[in-house]
């Protein structure tokens, strides 16, 4: 495996660490869709993630490295599963 492929595989690994519901560190972040002080919506290698809370702000963002740090009072983390491609029949019958 080439060095670039190893780097991309490492970037796709998703991690999440939270301290006292006030500081959130994430890895495997691919994009930030939107944010305000109550909601941050982002795409990770494991699907879309919504972070809800109060006084949320992004301390650090590095999409090249897939890293994001958030501060504020975190009340909820919720994931949406990635949409699978293919026809309904192929998804139902594993084709």
pTM for the full predicted model:
0.75
**DSSP collapsed to 3 states, the chain:** CCHHHHHHHHHHCCEEEEECCCEEEEECEEEEEEECCCEEEEEECCEEEEEEEEEEEEEEEECCCCEEEEEEEEEEEEEECCCCCCCHHHHHHCC
Res 10: pLDDT: 52
Contacts of 90 (CB under 8 A, 6+ apart): none
pLDDT along the chain (95 residues), means of 10: 53 88 96 96 94 97 95 96 64 64
Res 81: pLDDT: 72
Res 8: pLDDT: 56
Res 84: pLDDT: 60
Res 83: pLDDT: 59
């Amino acid at each position: 495996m080439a060095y670039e492929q190893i780097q991309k595989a490492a970037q796709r690994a998703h991690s999440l660490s939270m301290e006292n519901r006030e500081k959130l560190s994430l890895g495997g972040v691919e994009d930030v869709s939107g944010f305000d002080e109550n909601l941050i919506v982002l795409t990770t290698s494991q699907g879309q993630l919504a972070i809800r809370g109060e006084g949320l702000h992004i301390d650090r963002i590095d999409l090249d490295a897939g890293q994001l740090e958030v501060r504020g009072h975190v009340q909820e983390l919720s994931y949406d599963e990635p949409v699978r491609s293919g026809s309904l029949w192929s998804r139902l019958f594993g084709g």
